[in-house]
Amino acid sequence: MARRDGEEVTYTTNDSPSLLEIVKRVMRSKKDCTYILLLASQEILEVSKRGKTLNAYLDDFAQIAGPSVQIVQEETTGFHGLKHRDALIVQGVGALCMGNSESDAHAVAALVQKDSKAALLGLSCAQVKPLPYLDTHLMRYVYKKKYAKLVCSSMGKGKVAMHKGI
Amino acid sequence: MPRIWLRVHGEISAAGGEVIIFLITPSGRSYEQLTGNQLVLVSLEGLAYTGSLKPSSEKGIHALVYKTHPKVNCVIHTPQEMASLMSLIGNNIAISDDWRELLGETIPTSQYGLPGTKALMKQVGRVLKDYATPAVLMANHGALCFGSSPQAFPTSFFPRGGGANNHYGKEGW
């Protein structure tokens, strides 16, 4: 849906103006994001109707996508916490998955999809619970501070990129 | 080897003969660009390692497997979708006849622990001692599969279409 190349941002969406506006605002507010894709699976659309956040059920989701992902309406004028998250779910539209590259965004998308299934599984299995709140934040913090840095370093990304995305 | 998801999550290790050291994938390295000489040599006792790259933070769990099952030469942790979802249910999985020869009668699920911590090692250690199976589900974390060789990994049980899918359907979703 969007790709940043230096200072230039290209938007490829033909979707509604309100969705495009959300994407633009994400790109403006999240300077470390160079790529956004939209994933509109059946599971994500279902989750998008059922609350204000998608909690983390799985540790890789907490680390890479964020401790939780906010669900907003398409007409929203505000969202929060994107500094510490790499996805945003738009109700009835799908998940905006962000990354420092197309590959990173696809990794986030796969995790949002998996966690959406987990959330739906939780509707029918009482024992399926989200991860503890503090644990998810700790996982994300450790991942961003240590692990993501190493991955970017190994992929030859620059100093700026080393602190952003995976 | 069955398709497994190894991007930045999950790790694989291998050893030969009587295991006193093992090779494991490094921490925080892109698997797409990983080369053989970047694998990290780790001692089974003490988990000391050589070289400039750090081993995976889950090296302790791999060491536990080698210690508990002396005939095992390969261990993999995979956060593939089906295994991860089944790990949330928390029950031991009864294995159908089709898979029993490879997997035994049940796949146990260890309780939750923060990744890379001794708490997680403790939980996994408990089920490794109690069950003689080549796979363990780690709650909220994925599957741990092990065998005498990569070909012996039971990872094919978990992806869609595998035996796990039948079990998943029985859970009512």
Reported pTM = 0.86
Contacts of A50 (CB under 8 A, 6+ apart): A119
φ and ψ at A51, to 5 degrees? 155, -170
* A131, closest residue in chain B (CA to CA): B140
Query: What is the rounded CA–CA span in Å between residue B84 and residue B86?
Result: 5
The DSSP 8-state label assigned to residue A50 in this structure reads: S
ipTM: 0.84
Judge: B88–A139 Cβ closer than 8 Å, yes or no: no
Smallest Cβ–Cβ distance between A117 and the set B27, B85, B91 belongs to: B85
CA of B57 vs chain A CAs: smallest distance (Å): 10
* Closest to A44 measured CA to CA, from A102, A85, A96, A83: A96
At residue A26 the predicted structure's pLDDT band, cuts being 50, 70 and 90, is very high
Q: Where are the alpha helices (DSSP H) in chain B?
A: 59-68, 81-89, 97-103, 118-130, 163-170
Token output for B131: 């069950």
Instruction: Identify the pLDDT of residue B1.
Output: 33
At residue A150 the predicted structure's pLDDT band, cuts being 50, 70 and 90, is low
pLDDT at B168 over 70: no
Residues in A closer than 8 angstroms to B7, CB to CB, are: 107
At residue A152 the predicted structure's pLDDT band, cuts being 50, 70 and 90, is low
Q: What does DSSP say about strands A68-72 and A35-39: parallel, antiparallel, or unpaired?
A: unpaired
